[in-house]
C-alpha cells in the first residue's frame, strides 16, 4: 500500500491505480452503534497526551468527529477514585467522547465499562494495541493478542454489561508470524461490537516501520461492522489514500495530532475543496498560547511538565524555535512559560532579535 508521503516527488508506482493515487474523500460522517461522528475522523487514545485539555483543544480547532481518553486501567477505575478523576474526567462540550479501558479480567472490565457508562461517556473502547512492556507483562494491551478465547470472554462480558456502543482498538498481531486481525475482527462482530479500529502494525513493530494498510482492507472485506483505519496518516492526502485503498469507514490519527493539531481541520478542508491551508506563524502562536492557557486554567497536576513536553511538538517549524524551547525548558512555572511564549512571538512580530526569552 502506497501512502502519499511514499510517492512525493516520484509519482505513484505502476501498480497503484489512478483512484488510489487520487484518494477518496474521508466520509462526512460515520455511525458507531447509533453515535454519529461528523466527520469520520477520530483522535486516537494516547497515554500522557489525550487528557481533557488536549481533547477540548483539538475539538475547538475543528474537524475531529470523535475524541478518546488516555487508555485507563480497568482495575484502577474500580479500586482508586483518583484514577477516575484523572483519566475519566470530561466536559459536556467534548461529546461525542469515548473512554478506552485496558485489562485482562473479563469481570473487572465489565464493571469498569459500567462505570464509564454511568459517567456519561458515549462509547467504551477496549485497548488491545498498547505495546508497552509494563502493560503487556500484565496481559493487557497487545499482550492479549495471543489469547483470542480470553478476548472473546472479555467481549461478551463487556457487551452484556453496558448499553452504550462498544468498540475495540487492536494491532494486527503479535508479530508477522502471528497475524490475527481478521479473526479478531470477526470475533468482535460476532460478539456484538459496533466497530473495530486497527493500528496496522504488529506488537513487535512498536511504532517502527510502515503501517500495513492491506490489513485494514482485509478486515473491511471480512466484516460488516464499521472499520476504522489507523497508522501513518501524516497529511490529508494520506487520509484520503487510506480510505481509497482500504475502504475504511473512518480514519484515526494518533502521533500526528500533537505534532500538527490542525490535521483534522485540514482533512475536512481537503475533503470539501481538494486543498487545505497551512498554519501561519500567527496561527502557531495562537495555538501554543491557547493550549498553555488551557493547561494553566485547568490546574492539573504536572502542568509545567506537560507544557514542556508539548513544546518540542508545538514549536516545530517555528523560526528560532530552539530559542523558544530553551526558554520554556528553563522556566519555573506555568505563567513564566506562557510569558516566554508571548515575549518570543512579540519579538518575532516586531522583527527584533530575541535576546532573552525568559
pLDDT, tens only, 54-83: 999 999 999 999 999 999 999 999 999 899
User: Which of the following is catalytic: 30, 64, 130, 357?
Assistant: 130
Buried b / exposed e along 73-84 (16+ C-beta atoms within 10 A): bbbbbbeeeebb
pLDDT of 354 reads: 47
pLDDT of 165 reads: 98
Paired with 128 in beta bridges are: 170
Please, is 3 exposed, middle or buried when counting C-beta atoms within 10 Å of its C-beta (0-12, 13-18, 19+)? buried
8 Å CB contact between 42 and 197: yes
8 Å CB contact between 259 and 35: no
Residue count of the chain, please give it. Answer: 358
Q: What is the dihedral angle through the alpha carbons of 150, 119, 171, 306, rounded to the nearest 10 degrees? A: -130
497536576: which residue's cell?
301
Least confident of 16-25, 59-68, 100-109, 193-202: 16-25
Nearest CA to 324 among 291, 297, 354?
354
Task: Tell me how far apart the alpha carbons of residues 42 and 66 are, in angstroms, rounded to a whole number.
Answer: 5
Model-level pTM?
Answer: 0.89
pLDDT value at 207 more than 90: no
Least confident of 21-30, 34-43, 278-287: 21-30
Percentage of the chain modeled with pLDDT above 70: 89
Look up residue 274 and give its DSSP letter: S
For 230-251, how does the pLDDT look when each residue is reduced to its tens digit (9 = 90+)?
999 999 999 999 999 999 999 9
8 Å CB contact between 287 and 279: yes
pLDDT of 358 reads: 43
Cell numbers for 81: 477514585
Question: What does DSSP say about strands 35-37 and 30-32: parallel, antiparallel, or unpaired?
Answer: antiparallel
Mean pLDDT value of segment 129-141: 69
8 Å CB contact between 348 and 315: no
**φ, ψ for residue 127 (rounded to 5)?**
-90, 115
**φ, ψ for residue 154 (rounded to 5)?**
-65, -45
pLDDT of 137 reads: 63
Annotation says 194 is catalytic: no
Percentage of the chain modeled with pLDDT above 90: 73
Amino acid at each position: 500500500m502506497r501512502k502519499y508521503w511514499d510517492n512525493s516527488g516520484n509519482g505513484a508506482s505502476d501498480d497503484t491505480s489512478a483512484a488510489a493515487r487520487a484518494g477518496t474523500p474521508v466520509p462526512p460522517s460515520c455511525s458507531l452503534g447509533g453515535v454519529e461522528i461528523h466527520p469520520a475522523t477520530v483522535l486516537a487514545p494516547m497515554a500522557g497526551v489525550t487528557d481533557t485539555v488536549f481533547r477540548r483543544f483539538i475539538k475547538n480547532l475543528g474537524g475531529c468527529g470523535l475524541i478518546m481518553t488516555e487508555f485507563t486501567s480497568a482495575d484502577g477505575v474500580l479500586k482508586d477514585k483518583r484514577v477516575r478523576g484523572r483519566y475519566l474526567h470530561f466536559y459536556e462540550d467534548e461529546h461525542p467522547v469515548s473512554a478506552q479501558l485496558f485489562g485482562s479480567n473479563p469481570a473487572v472490565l465489565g464493571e469498569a465499562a459500567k462505570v464509564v457508562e454511568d459517567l456519561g461517556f458515549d462509547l467504551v473502547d477496549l485497548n488491545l494495541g498498547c505495546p508497552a512492556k509494563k502493560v503487556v507483562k500484565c496481559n493487557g494491551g497487545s499482550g492479549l493478542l495471543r489469547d483470542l478465547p480470553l478476548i472473546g470472554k472479555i467481549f461478551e462480558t463487556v457487551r452484556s454489561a453496558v448499553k452504550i456502543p462498544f468498540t475495540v482498538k487492536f494491532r494486527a498481531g503479535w508479530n508477522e508470524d502471528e497475524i490475527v486481525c481478521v479473526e479478531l475482527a470477526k470475533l468482535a462482530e460476532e460478539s456484538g461490537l459496533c466497530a473495530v479500529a486497527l493500528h496496522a502494525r504488529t506488537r513487535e513493530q512498536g511504532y517502527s516501520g510502515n503501517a500495513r494498510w492491506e490489513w485494514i482492507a482485509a478486515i473491511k472485506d471480512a466484516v460488516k461492522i464499521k472499520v476504522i483505519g489507523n497508522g501513518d496518516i501524516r497529511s490529508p492526502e494520506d487520509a484520503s489514500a487510506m480510505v481509497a485503498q482500504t475502504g475504511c469507514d473512518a480514519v484515526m490519527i494518533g502521533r500526528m495530532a500533537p505534532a500538527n493539531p490542525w490535521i483534522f481541520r485540514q482533512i475536512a478542508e481537503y475533503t470539501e475543496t481538494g486543498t487545505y491551508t497551512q498554519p501561519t506563524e500567527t496561527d502557531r502562536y495562537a495555538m501554543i498560547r491557547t493550549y498553555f492557557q488551557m493547561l494553566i486554567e485547568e490546574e492539573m497536576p504536572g502542568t509545567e511538565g506537560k507544557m514542556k513536553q508539548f513544546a518540542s511538538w508545538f514549536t516545530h517549524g517555528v523560526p528560532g524555535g530552539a530559542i523558544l524551547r530553551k526558554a520554556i525548558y528553563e522556566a519555573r512555572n506555568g505563567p513564566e512559560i506562557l510569558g516566554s511564549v508571548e515575549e518570543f512571538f512579540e519579538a518575532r512580530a516586531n522583527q527584533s532579535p530575541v535576546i532573552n526569552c525568559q
